[in-house]
Structure formats: C-alpha cells, structure tokens
Amino acid sequence: MALLAKIDTFIIDLPTIRPHVLAMATMHRQSMVLVRITDSDGIEGIGEGTTIGGLSYGDESPEGIKLAIDTYIAPLLEQVDLSRVGSVMATIGKYVVSNHIAKCAVESALLDIAGKRLGVPASELIAGGRRRDSMPVAWTLASGETGTDIAEAEAMLEARRHNIFKLKIGKRPVAADVAHVGAIKAALGDRASVRVDVNQGWDEVQADRGMAMLADVGCDLVEQPIARHAVAAMARLSARHAIPIMADEALHGPIDAFAIAANAGARIYAIKIAQSGGVFPAHAVGMIADAAGIGLYGGTMLEGTVGTAASAHLFATFAQLQWGTELFGPLLLTEDVVTEPLTYADFELRVPTSPGLGVAFDEDKLAHFRRDRTTSHHTLQGA
C-alpha cells in the first residue's frame, strides 16, 4: 500500500515567444500549476494543470486550481492507496465536483508514480498500451498579421517541424478573417493543412457564412465556431456544410462527448486531458468518438512539457488519430523547467519512453520560476 508522504503544489509563470492572440484573450505568458506527489516508498510523481488566459477561457484559473488541490484534494489523498489510481480518482470525484484541470494534474502525477513503480511508460498503463511512438503536431499561427503568419509557417515547413497550421480567428469581421485565412492557404498551397479555431467567437449566422467561405478558400476544418452550449446549432451547421466542425470548448468529458455524438453536433473531437478531467476520462471521450465514427484530434490547453507528455501518452494509445495533434505548448515558451525537452522532428512529437511520464524537473529553473520563490509543501506528520 502506497500512502501519501508529501504533496507540493505551486504556480509558475513562463514567458512566451510572442503574444498568442485568441478570440477572448491575448496571452503574453503561460501560467501553469505543477504538482509533485511523493508516496511512502519515496517514489515521486509530477503533474500539470494549465488553462488559457486566466478565467477568460474557462471556469478554472491557476490560482483556483492550486486552491482546489491544496484545500480539497490533498486531504483525500491522505486516506487512500496511491498505487490504485482509478480508485483514487473515483474517491476524488465523489467529493470534488468539476474542477477538471485540478483533477487532471493530480491524476497525471499518480500515473507518473505508477509508471515509475512498474518501470514502464505511462502509456502502457492506459487501455492496451501505446500504438504509436510519435504523432503529427500542428502549430498555431496567432499573431493576427497575415504576412507574419505566412513567414512563420514557411519557417516551420523549412525546419520540418510542422506542416499543419491552425489559425486563431473570430475577433475581426468574418470577411476579414476569411481573407486572412485564404491568403495563408494560397501561400502554402498543398504543402500544408490549414485549419481555423474561432474559440466560440461567432453566432450561428456568422458561422453559416464563415464556414461556406472558409470551405471555398481551402480550409480543412473549423474548430468550435459558436458557443459551447449551442449543441443544436452545431448540429444544424454540421448538416449544412461539407467543412467539418471540431468540438472543443463544448467537450468537457464523456457526458458531453455522448451528447454531441447523439445530436451529430461535430465530426471531429479535440480531446484534452485537462478539459476532460484527466487521462482516463479523456480516453473514454476517445472511445465514444470511435464508436460514433467521429475523428480524433489531440488537443492542448497550451500545457508545458509535463502536461504535454501526459497528453502524448494518452494519444499514443488511440487506434485512430486522424487529425493529428496540437501538442506544441512547450514550443511556445522561451523557458522550461525540465531537465530534457521533448523531441520534435520530421513534423512529429516523439512520445517519451522512460518510466512514468518520462520527464523530470530541473530544480534550479523550477525554483526561479515559482511564483512563491520558496519551497512550501505539505508533509505528513511521521512520514
């Protein structure tokens, strides 16, 4: 039986290579919650909970994630066998409603411990284990400037780092946004897939017009064009247009996945472990999509290396990953807090092969970027 010896939860703020423009916010840095759990055998696991733009994107903030873990989840961990990850998460789910990102961070750390205990990568603990060792990775062009975005895409193609590009749109008039997308697609041609993410920025009328125009300029998919709760409108748009809708913000775990599939609201799912509530619920989302004939895309909350590694371990187990992934979060950062970065080459991300998540903290960098700048943790008496 593995008991909790110590848990340390902290926020770090890392600078980004450029402003990242979304429909609801512009990011100038990424704030993420990191959790370090040590069990009674001395095995340490790490996890990450990251959101986008504070509370402008969703209902969890970095500060709220840390509070949920420290105040409500940590005491529950004192009462359970940490080696039984599924059972632990069921206990947390019984006493903590929602707070998906906080739960994801803790579950990732427990999977890291479990993999290290058994000497296997975390992907081998999910369903039937990994089916692939690498996966395609998209890059988001989010400067908002057409010329800048084209130059950035050309540089990525030249470096063989990305040949899938997603454009953040929704702030400008529909015609202006489509002109921006069309110019980029025309410049890249058949060398790359071009997609858009509206981040719920349109209403149904705008989406109707925008989707038709985007299909005409060669765009491959439209991610979450309208509000996440408007499943009926998503179904109407999906029925009217050949260009597929990808559900993202509408997808918060298996219940949403089933409802969207039942209503034909999307033909692609952007699966995010944080938004789903962890690796195991996200796996269930993938199974529902498979059963419904819905394509899969490995989404991101712009996590750093720890969260990206956890996502990659899950996506490596999917039988189909038709639309690739978006696990570029670490590449958006100018600094990192791990000893070895993830490997990106030949348009793909390689899944770590070391036990657990396969990544480890660089303690000096971690100490530098912690908001509290001190090591404060909860150690159990007598541990």
Q: Is 61 helix (H, G, I), strand (E, B) or coil?
A: coil
CA distance 195 to 102: 30
Q: Which of 66, 103, 166, 168 is catalytic?
A: 168
What is the H or E stretch that residue 95 is in?
helix 85-95
CA distance 260 to 232: 9
Based on the residue annotation, tell me whether 66 is a catalytic residue of this protein: no
Q: Are 105 and 47 in contact (CB under 8 A)?
A: yes
Give the closest residue to 370 by CA, choosing from 347, 343, 337, 325: 337
Q: Write out the two tokens for 340.
A: 């070895």
Residue with tokens 């408007």: 230
Torsion sign across C-alpha atoms 307, 313, 319, 323: positive
Torsion sign across C-alpha atoms 39, 274, 20, 145: positive
Residue 148 neighbours by CB under 8 Å, 6+ apart: none
What is the H or E stretch that residue 273 is in?
helix 273-276
Residue with tokens 């470096």: 159
Say how far residue 147 (Cα) sits from the centre of its chain.
Answer: 28
Residue with tokens 């084209």: 150
Active-site residues: which are they?
Answer: 168
